[in-house]
Structure 1
C-alpha cells in the first residue's frame, strides 16, 4: 500500500520550533551522517526559502524539499534543494510525489521562471523524468558527485 502524505509548503517563520527541529534533524541524519557529506547545511538560505514538508497521518515528517526564490541562489531561476526522504523509506515511492509537489509549488510560487537543482549524479535520470536537463559536467559537492540541472 502506498504511503499517503499531507503536504504543506510555508515560509521559515511559519515553522513551529518542533517542526524546524524535525527538518534539520532529517537533513543532518541523511546528508551528514548517512552520506558523510561534510558541508554547512545551516547556510543562511533557509530564512528566505519556502519549505515543502510531507507528513504521514500521524504527523511524522517523511519527505522534505527546500524551494528557493529566483535571485537567492540563481539570478534568473528558482531552485529546489535539500530533497530528502529517510533512508528506511527509499524505494517506497515517496520520491516521485515529493518532486511532483516541489515542481508544482515552484511553478505556483515563481510563475514563468526556470527551476534549477544540483542533483546527485546517480539520480540524473530521475530528475530528467521531471523535465530537468543537465547543464554541467559532474563535480564534487561535499564528497558526492553532483551536476547542475535546469527545467525551463
Structure 2
C-alpha cells in the first residue's frame, strides 16, 4: 500500500485529521525526542494554514504545515514529521516536495523559511534550503534557520 498524499486547508481540517496530525507530532516531538513544548500554538487552524498529510491506509504516516509568514515576507514550513515505521523509504523527501509545491502554489514569489533541527540540515539542503542563521537552541534542541529562495531572472 502506497502513501496517499493530500493538502488540506485549515478550514477543511476535520476533527479526525486534526487529531491524527496532533497525535503523530506528539509521538515524534514530545515522546520520541523527549521534548516538552507547546505544540498546540494556535497556528494549525488559521485560515491561511495548509497541512500536507501522507496516509498509509487509515494511519497518518507523515505531515507538515505551511504557514503564511507575510509579516516577514515569506512562507514557513514547519512541524515536518514522518512516523518511525515509515522512515528510510523516501517519504520525508516526498513530504518536502509536496510541502514546497503547496507553498509555491499559494505564494509563488516568496522565499520559504524553516527552522531545521541541526542534524537534518543536509536533508533540507537537498531541497534547496540554505542556512540563514547560526545554530540556536529551540526547545532544548539545536536548530538552524534555513531559507529557500525562488529563482530570479538575471538583471539585464
Moved over 6 A (4+): none
User: Following the alignment from structure 2 to structure 1, what is the Cα–Cα distance between the partners of residues 8 and 34?
Assistant: 29
Task: Give the CA RMSD over aligned residues.
Answer: 1.2
Q: Which residue number in structure 2 is paired with residue 55 of structure 1?
A: 55
Alignment of 1:1-152 (within 5 A): 4-48=2-46, 49-56=49-56, 58-71=57-70, 75-152=72-149
CA distance in 2, matches of 1:101, 1:141: 25
Structure 2: 5+ residue stretches without partners: 150-156
Q: What is the CA–CA distance in structure 2 between the aligned matches of 1:22 and 1:16, rounded to whole Å?
A: 10
Give the aligned length: 147
Query: Which blocks of at least 5 consecutive residues in structure 1 are unaligned?
Result: none
* Deviation of the 1:91 alpha carbon: 1.3
Greater Rg, structure 1 or structure 2? 2
Report how far residue 33 of structure 1 moved: 0.8
CA drift of 1:89 comes to: 1.8
**Could you list the per-position Cα deviations for residues 97-132 of structure 1 after superposition, in whole angstroms to 9, with x for gaps in the alignment?**
001111111110111110000000001011011110
Encode CA deviations 1:34-81: one digit per residue, 9 max, x unaligned. 10112110011112211110112x23211100100132xx51100100
Q: Quick check: 1:70–1:110 contact (8 Å CA) kept in 2?
A: no
